[in-house]
Each structure stands twice: as structure tokens, then as C-alpha cells.
Structure 1
């Protein structure tokens, strides 16, 4: 199952990490929640294949280490979500539907 497109209404904002909103639940290292708002990545779904990072035309994403997470030991973080041009390439290319882009959450 991919990211919940209504996570900002269905989940509680539990804090901030690296300047990004984090939506729970979070229980490290197994549960990491959703990171970002305009460009949101569900860290619990992300398998870190890197396609979004490699193909993003404006370099929104960076790698972050997530040791001990059951899906992967690193994730793509929407570090520069404010530079997103809403092309939706990352959404289309993600093999597990871990990314959501929504301009209304900017």
C-alpha cells in the first residue's frame, strides 16, 4: 500500500526533522512516518530504489540514513521540497507509491 494522499488530515504532525514536517506515528527504528508536506515521502513504504532522486529535474531529494528500518537503511528525503515544480515525475516513477505531491500543502 502506498502513501495516504490525505495524510495531513488523517495523521498527526508529530514534529520536524531537517526542516521538514513529520507526520506520525513514529516509533524508531521500525516506524518513521511521513516526511515533508508539499512533497511528502512515506518512509515506512519507501524502499530506497533512488529513481526519484536520480530523475527529479530540480533535485528535490537527498539520501538520509535510516538504520534498522525494515524496508531499507536509507530513504529519500524531500530536502528541497520548496523547489518542486509539480511535474509529478517522482510520483509516477516510485515503484511503491511512497511519494505524494500536493501544491495545496505548500
Structure 2
């Protein structure tokens, strides 16, 4: 199941981690929600293969630890989402469609 492209309308913003918006529900360690706004990563389906981090031309992503999450114990955080150039490479390369980039949503 891919990230909900309308998460900002369908989910509640429940806080912030490292300056990045978090959209619920969040019930660690199993449910970690969606992180980011303009560049959003669904932590519940991200398998942390690193393709987005390695291929992003402007270094939007950083690694974060997510201990005991059933899918992976690392996730990519859109820490520098304000640097995104909307090239959509991360969206295209993600094998589980865990990333959404929407220019109309601002961080």
C-alpha cells in the first residue's frame, strides 16, 4: 500500500521530530506515521533501502533510527525538505511508494 497522497487532509499533525512535521497515528514502535509535509515519508511502509537518500541531488534525506519497527530499524527523514527541487526522483525510485512530493504543500 502506497503513501496516502492526501495525508495532510486525512491525518492529524501530531507533532514534530528534528524540525520535521509528523502526521499520525503514532504508536511506537509499530506505527510511526508520516514524516514531512512537502516531502513526506510514510515510516510505516518505508523499508530503508536507501535509494532516495543515495540518489537525491540536493540531499533532502538523512538516516534516523527507528528501533523495533517491524519493517526496518532505520528510516529516511526528509530533514532538508525545504531544499527539495521537485525532481520526483525519490518518488520514482522508492520500491514501496513510501514517498510523496507535492509542491502545493509547504513544510
1:95 positional shift: 0.0
Is structure 2 residue 22 aligned with structure 1 residue 54?
Answer: no
1:70-89 alignment runs, 5 A limit: 70-89=70-89
- SS of aligned partner of 2:75: strand
What TM-score do the two structures reach when normalised by structure 1?
A: 0.99
Query: Could you give the per-residue CA deviations for residues 7-35 of structure 1, whole angstroms, max 9, x where no partner exists?
Result: 00000000111101100000000000000
1:81 positional shift: 0.1
Q: Which residue of 2 aligns with 1:104?
A: 104
| Inter-partner Cα distance in structure 2 for 1:37 and 1:81 | 8
Q: How many equivalent residue pairs?
A: 106
- What stretches of structure 1 of length at least 5 have no aligned partner? none
1:51 positional shift: 0.1
